[in-house]
Chain A
């Protein structure tokens, strides 16, 4: 396969006695859509925050886009995009102002900001909403906007934490079109989800149970290995043994 963009070895995060992420080992390749599955409380968000430089691991090794998660968090941040579970753009700014602000923070020039904004607005079909406050947008559009802002600075990897939670099926489909679009341009997608149909869209997936990665392969191979017909069955077999939960 092509170059490795995420490399983790025994990556662990403890909060006191609680081991949120336990010895995670995985590799993700450039241009891949990697599904990061797990039940609620399995430790997905913790793992993702470590990859993004938002959380410093307790032990283990990891490099993201070639940068170390302990010492080079700011370099990692230059090369990744992140979309958190909770909508976190500014509700009291307009669509355009949000794009401009985050683009500016990533160091885009005024000319780049202008062309990028136009391109995004057209791609998202938000021409009429461009100058409206984000607080007034429906959730589906907010999520699409968040994604677009996360890939604005052309990162190598984009981390999506349950990007389609609470979104209707049509918008989910459109959201995945955006993901494929980005993947085609060579952006690596690292995505968590609870929807098993979405898991099928991924090149490879891992399933986390109680802080550990219990399975990691392509959806097809996983189904073969567990001798079932759907990802749903695979997930159910692994996750029902989970002791944690919200």
Chain B
């Protein structure tokens, strides 16, 4: 145990002596937590709409004003022909074209039926999907409005209708920040912990200092612990900073128990640091370690359920996410912070993450060779 004391003393001296890294560790989470949630917003606004109105009737005018009044659409073109409007899509100035045919009002009243054409620029899939859906919704509403107007009320009553009222649980105002902040914090903790540990040991390999360590009778697990503990502490500090930032800036106060949150992070960090250590035992240069870590981070982030829901991934991708520690942390963060889940609820997650921690660290110790 005395050996570990000397290892920690040395490691902390080096960390505190390297001011730029220390600043990065402290400032990076603050800036990213302020910046990213503001940008990472799923809500689609300012959809550029081009209208081709062949009818020029009061009814078509009413439809257009109903669409623009919704706040989601920006009328960027009012063209004479579909061809003209399509040029706007080609130049990316329009996301949607709504074509109102000649005789829109007449057909609607006389024949009780009329078709509209909506053309969608599907390059930006999210915008196209949501824009199309919004527009369809508005047109349906408009349709109901006209039926009110045109049909006598007693007749209208005969048409059964299902009216849906939804209530949003755990995030009543559908505030995306509340959803994103815990996820982003999860990624930050993972990145800082993983990269720091991976690069640290490889740096010792590059400098040759590890050779001087390997020629001492130091025990492998002592050496690994001496590397693990300092970065574990740093990871916890980053997490605390992150929680403070999300409280001060976004007013997010965990609904669930803080103890549970810290307990989970404690075990989770062991898993991530274990991965960093394991990578470092395979690499000889910081470049190699950096690229391998980056490879994992990309997968962890994009398949972690931060930006895209894991539930809507194909089955094979879901299987991959089961091996992604970040996905467990993101979901536990959201569960505990937003929903107030208890230990009982997150126990399966905790179990898997603990297995990761044990597995990765044991592998790292086995793979760390004092002699070759």
Contacts and interface: CB of A to CB of B under 8 A. Distances in A.
A104 B5 contact: yes
B217 A106 contact: yes
A105 B7 CA distance: 8
A90 B211 CA distance: 12
A174 B304 CA distance: 61
A194 to B, nearest CB: 20
B2 interface: yes
Contacts of A243: none
Contacts, number: 75
A87 B14 CA distance: 18
A193 B360 CA distance: 43
Given A73-B370, A101-B6, A84 B211 contact: yes
Contacts of A91: 207
A77 B208 contact: no
B3 A54 contact: no
Interface in B196-249: 207-209, 211-218
Contacts of B17: 92
Contacts of A97: 10, 13
A93 interface: yes
B14 A88 contact: no
A187 interface: no
B209 A88 contact: yes
Interface residues of B, number: 25
A102 interface: yes
B80 to A, nearest CB: 72
A89 B212 CA distance: 7
Contacts of B216: 77, 102, 105-106
B20 interface: no
Main secondary structure of the interface of B (DSSP, over half): helix
Contacts of A80: 215
B92 interface: no
Contacts of B207: 88, 90-91
A50 B9 CA distance: 31
B217 A86 contact: no
Contacts of B5: 104
B372 interface: yes
B166 interface: no
Contacts of A77: 215-217
B217 A88 contact: no
Contacts of A54: 211, 214-215, 370-372
A74 B207 CA distance: 23
B371 A104 contact: no
A73 B370 CA distance: 9
Given A87-B208, A93-B13, A100 B215 contact: no
B18 interface: yes
A114 interface: no
A78 B217 contact: yes
Interface in A84-127: 84, 86-93, 97, 100-102, 104-107
Nearest to A56: B371
Interface string B99-135: 0000000000000000000000000000000000000
- Which of B2, B7, B212 has the most C-beta atoms of chain A within 10 angstroms of its own C-beta? B212
A82 interface: yes
Given A93-B14, A97-B10, A106-B217, A84 B212 contact: yes
A92 B14 contact: yes
Nearest to A100: B6
Contacts of B372: 54-56
Contacts of B10: 90, 93, 97, 101
Interface in A10-42: none
Nearest to A93: B13
Given A54-B215, A101-B10, A102-B216, A90 B209 contact: yes
A219 interface: no
B371 A53 contact: yes
A82 B6 contact: no
A231 interface: no
B6 A104 contact: yes
Q: Counting chain A CB atoms within 10 Å of each CB, which of B6, B17, B372 scores highest?
A: B6
Interface string A50-89: 0011111000000000000000011101101010101111
Contacts of B208: 84, 86-88
Nearest to A113: B6
Contact of A88 (B6, B7, B212): B212
A86 to B, nearest CB: 5
Contacts of A86: 208, 211
Leading 7 A-B pairs by shortest Cβ distance: A104-B6, A88-B208, A82-B215, A88-B212, A77-B217, A78-B217, A86-B208
Interface of B: 2-3, 5-7, 9-10, 13-14, 17-18, 207-209, 211-218, 370-372
24 contacts: A53-B215, A54-B211, A54-B214, A54-B370, A54-B371, A77-B215, A77-B216, A77-B217, A82-B212, A86-B211, A88-B208, A88-B209, A88-B212, A92-B14, A92-B18, A101-B9, A102-B212, A102-B216, A104-B3, A104-B9, A105-B216, A106-B216, A106-B217, A107-B2
Given A54-B211, A56-B371, A105-B3, 6 more contacts: A54-B215, A73-B371, A77-B217, A84-B212, A90-B10, A90-B209
